[in-house]
Structure 1
């Protein structure tokens, strides 16, 4: 089923690192005229992911891992943080797939009908080892959440072309993050239209899919637990927290051992005193 993906309320961002003019980041999607049988891969041909050689193909000829490299350290940091943080967030839900840069194929028999979100979350998909995600082998389950981290090479496709395909596939939330001049926008599928997600009282953008708020802190994309106000840590922060917790535990053990030693010393002094008293009484 094709979702007509118009977007309410346009606005603009300015990306000086990309082009010296204002670029519309509100996904401006024009639904092309089509015959009912026209595949999405034809309608949204410009949105498709083109694997980067060398490409690994499975036995059926579908693409998997390829030779892509990170656009920049900022791009990699954003993608890796989101992947690591959400893997931890959903650790008690083994059926939830969190994947970054995994090729998603959405038309059986067409190896070119592919997307590769910087991050996607699919519920009830499980976590077996995959070289690609084939929608027709997953009960037609598409991502509930998709994030694209913009770059100089891909921003136009991410902003102007992909939203229509994501909406047509039924992706419930679509997010854009620009890491150089940090900007964040989230969109929710409302019927057949993407609508912009408005900030919550605390300033974060609420993701109903994740049960988290998405924010920009210190120019970095971050996830925040709205119930506690805690930001999901990145791996560096998590490791620092682990080291700090271990240090506190070691300090607690040392204090306990010191207290035990003092108690033993006091008991020994008491016993010596008792023996001395007994000796005096015997005289």
Structure 2
């Protein structure tokens, strides 16, 4: 009689790195996702334990690959920077992203957005921001106990976690770094760097001109001092000649 051994090992659960959905539905949505994510990267570039990602699948529950979301941008404080195929929370000291952003497109349905809100509320998000670039409207929610409560006035709101400020104009949303620098696109950043490069070159050229002027002034001053010394030497020589002839210069 042959005894069969039963295996207690369960099949390995795969957590896909992609949900098969596009990152954005149009150019405006894509632009804002990139602007927010990259400026957050810049903001925390020198902070080792702040992880920023865009369109990265977040799995909060080990053993269930159906529970997941891919925020347009997210920030996890207390987690190191580095490459990830997805954000598996149990591998991240069970730290959820504290701040998430969603940029709306015409394809965002009310039911889908409600599901996202419930997900972020249930799994520990502290700040949730939703921007509609078509309607130029931004909504924010902040955690109060077990709930995410709506922020009454987002115009001028400063994120407690990020320190960034939101300003709505007639034409667009403007987001500002804690130092007052506006969130910029790559094109604007490139132009700003070019302007800074040109300004630096002008400043260096002006400094060089000033140095040359100072050097010329120094040389003129040295020449004047040398001429004065020569005149003094000639004057002393003349006095000595008069004394040698028996003439007292002081009596002249």
The TM-score normalised by the length of structure 2 is 0.76
Give the conservation status (yes or no) of the 8 Å contact 1:145–1:174.
yes
Deviation at 1:164, TM superposition (A): 1.0
Structure 1 CA distance, aligned partners of 2:91 and 2:224? 81
Structure 2 CA distance, aligned partners of 1:77 and 1:159? 20
Deviation at 1:64, TM superposition (A): 0.9
Deviation at 1:259, TM superposition (A): 1.8
Q: What is the DSSP-based 3-state SS (H/G/I as helix, E as strand, rest coil) of the residue aligned with 1:160?
A: helix
1:62 matched to 2:24: no
1:215 matched to 2:146: no
- The 1:96–1:181 alpha-carbon spacing in structure 2 relative to 1, beyond 3 Å, is same
Q: Which has the higher helix share?
A: 2
Deviation at 1:240, TM superposition (A): 2.7
Q: Which runs of 5+ in 1 are unaligned?
A: 1-58
Give the conservation status (yes or no) of the 8 Å contact 2:23–2:55.
no
Deviation at 1:80, TM superposition (A): 0.8
Structure 1 CA distance, aligned partners of 2:170 and 2:43? 21
- The 1:262–1:64 alpha-carbon spacing in structure 2 relative to 1, beyond 3 Å, is same
Give the conservation status (yes or no) of the 8 Å contact 2:23–2:30.
no
Between Structure 1 and Structure 2, whose CA radius of gyration is higher? 2
Instruction: Give 2:127's aligned residue.
Output: 173
Q: What is the DSSP-based 3-state SS (H/G/I as helix, E as strand, rest coil) of the residue aligned with 1:207?
A: coil
Give the conservation status (yes or no) of the 8 Å contact 1:142–1:171.
yes
Instruction: Give 1:29's aligned residue.
Output: none
Structure 1 CA distance, aligned partners of 2:132 and 2:21? 23
Structure 2 CA distance, aligned partners of 1:155 and 1:230? 34
Compare relative contact order (CA 8 Å, sep 6+) and give the higher one, 1 or 2.
1
Instruction: Give 1:205's aligned residue.
Output: 157
Deviation at 1:225, TM superposition (A): 4.5
Question: Aligned residue pairs: how many?
Answer: 222
* 1:98-121 deviation per Cα after TM superposition (whole angstroms, max 9, x unaligned): 111001112222222221000111
Instruction: Give 2:216's aligned residue.
Output: 265
Correspondence for 1:151 among 102, 105, 108: 105
Q: What is the DSSP-based 3-state SS (H/G/I as helix, E as strand, rest coil) of the residue aligned with 1:109?
A: coil
Instruction: Give 1:84's aligned residue.
Output: 38
Q: Which runs of 5+ in 2 are unaligned?
A: 1-11, 239-252
* 1:36-83 deviation per Cα after TM superposition (whole angstroms, max 9, x unaligned): xxxxxxxxxxxxxxxxxxxxxxx9522114573531111011111111
1:240 matched to 2:191: yes
Correspondence for 2:25 among 42, 53, 71: 71
- The 1:77–1:157 alpha-carbon spacing in structure 2 relative to 1, beyond 3 Å, is farther
- The 1:96–1:118 alpha-carbon spacing in structure 2 relative to 1, beyond 3 Å, is same
Correspondence for 1:93 among 43, 47, 59: 47
Structure 2 CA distance, aligned partners of 1:264 and 1:138? 61
Structure 2 CA distance, aligned partners of 1:229 and 1:268? 46
